[in-house]
């Protein structure tokens, strides 16, 4: 994804930063465009890929520790976009997450019959851990917390926010009849009590935001005016990845880049058109999703 943003889309190198990553000393991303035309006047953000199995070694520099995809670093990196003076109102902001996700039942937290239906989806920071007798938990980052942060970025920088999520929320490794294995980008949920921990941790950090809606509330609903989200799969499906010589590559990410480089999209193509043109192998059984009030606008909000 980082090479595509720079080499193919033409985003200037100094306009792209790796906010958090498992790669030591990751700073900027490498640069030019095909479909969307040059985005030289945009300011994009790329979040590097991480795995819940990656940990920091003592030998790594403190500088790298500051960029490790811990819960605190992820949240602070995202919130920093809302106050970064280099990002002007109306600039494009592209947030890309490739990693593990998980899911929690609402019934683990809510007792009301209506409020307890459904699930709370989450992404998994590298330092996630359940609470024990020695310390409190480091919970996952719920979809409610992410949406609240995106709404804050929208409030200060405008709605030109594209959020790309190559992850899913259930745990397994699937082998198909043709013998090809795909790894699933998921992690098992932490204990049920972690739902409360997720909400409490998010509330403490975000309650001071101007338009904050209490994350614990049973009637909480996402703000879908703030961004367009491109997701790897539907709620009941698994996001897969290929194991290759250069590491693991998400099926969704590869299909997304291939479509953006192809001639299947035209000058007026929208986010919905992009998702419709993706060529995902049928054997992966994953159907990408686009959502958000502005999903029928032109890609990268081009005028």
Q: What is the pLDDT of residue 49?
A: 36
> Which residue ranges form the domains of the chain, and what is each CATH number?
2-301 (3.40.50)
Q: What is the pLDDT of residue 225?
A: 93
Q: What is the pLDDT of residue 76?
A: 93
Residue in 216, 247, 45 with CA at minimum distance from that of residue 144: 216
Neighbouring-strand partners of residue 164: 96, 230
Angle of CA points 229, 12, 100, to nearest 5°: 35
CA dihedral 72, 75, 76, 81 (to 10 degrees): 170
Q: What is the pLDDT of residue 58?
A: 43
Residue in 102, 53, 45 with CA at minimum distance from that of residue 74: 45
Number of H helices, E strands in the chain: 7, 11
* Distance from C-alpha of 2 to C-alpha of 18, rounded to nearest angstrom: 9
Q: What is the pLDDT of residue 141?
A: 93
- C-alpha dihedral sign at 234, 297, 143, 281: positive
User: What is the residue-level pLDDT of the chain in tens, covering all 303 positions?
Assistant: 667 667 766 666 766 666 665 554 333 222 222 223 333 333 344 443 333 333 333 444 445 566 788 999 999 999 999 999 989 999 989 888 888 888 888 887 877 766 667 788 888 888 888 877 677 789 999 999 999 999 999 999 999 999 998 886 533 323 233 334 455 455 666 776 788 899 999 999 999 999 999 999 888 889 999 999 998 887 777 777 766 665 567 888 889 989 988 889 988 999 999 999 999 888 777 889 899 999 999 998 876
Q: Which residues contact 237 (CB under 8 A, 6 or more apart)?
A: 168, 285, 286, 287
Q: What is the pLDDT of residue 96?
A: 86
Residue in 232, 233, 249 with CA at minimum distance from that of residue 241: 249
What is the pTM for the complete model shown? 0.78
Burial class (CB in 10 A: 0-12, 13-18, 19+), 125: buried
* Distance from C-alpha of 300 to C-alpha of 271, rounded to nearest angstrom: 8
Q: Which residues contact 110 (CB under 8 A, 6 or more apart)?
A: 116, 218
* Distance from C-alpha of 297 to C-alpha of 123, rounded to nearest angstrom: 27
């Amino acid at each position: 994804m980082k090479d595509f943003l720079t080499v193919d889309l033409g985003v200037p190198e100094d306009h792209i930063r790796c906010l958090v990553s498992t790669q030591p000393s990751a700073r900027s991303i490498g640069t030019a465009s095909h479909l969307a035309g040059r985005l030289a006047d945009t300011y994009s953000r790329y979040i590097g890929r991480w795995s819940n199995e990656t940990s920091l070694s003592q030998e790594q520099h403190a500088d790298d520790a500051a960029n490790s995809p811990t819960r605190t670093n992820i949240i602070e990196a995202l919130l920093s976009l809302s106050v970064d003076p280099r990002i002007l109102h109306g600039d494009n902001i592209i947030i890309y997450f490739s990693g593990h996700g998980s899911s929690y039942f609402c019934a683990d937290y809510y007792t009301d019959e209506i409020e307890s239906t459904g699930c709370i989806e989450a992404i998994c920071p590298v330092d996630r851990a359940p609470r024990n007798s020695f310390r409190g938990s480091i919970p996952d980052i719920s979809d409610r917390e992410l949406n609240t942060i995106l709404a804050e970025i929208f409030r200060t920088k405008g709605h030109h926010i594209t959020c790309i999520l190559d992850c899913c929320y259930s745990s397994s490794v699937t082998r198909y009849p043709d013998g090809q294995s795909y790894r699933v980008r998921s992690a098992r949920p932490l204990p049920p009590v972690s739902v409360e921990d997720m909400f409490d941790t998010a509330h403490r950090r975000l309650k001071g935001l101007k338009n904050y809606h209490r994350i614990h509330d049973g009637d909480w609903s996402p703000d879908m005016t703030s961004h367009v989200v491109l997701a790897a799969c539907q709620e009941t499906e698994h996001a897969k990845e290929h194991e290759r010589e250069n590491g693991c590559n998400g099926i969704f990410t590869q299909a997304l880049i291939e479509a953006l480089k192809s001639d299947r999209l035209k000058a007026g193509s929208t986010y919905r058109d992009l998702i419709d043109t993706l060529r995902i192998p049928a054997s992966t059984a994953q159907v990408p999703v686009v959502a958000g009030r502005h999903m029928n606008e032109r890609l990268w909000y081009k005028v």
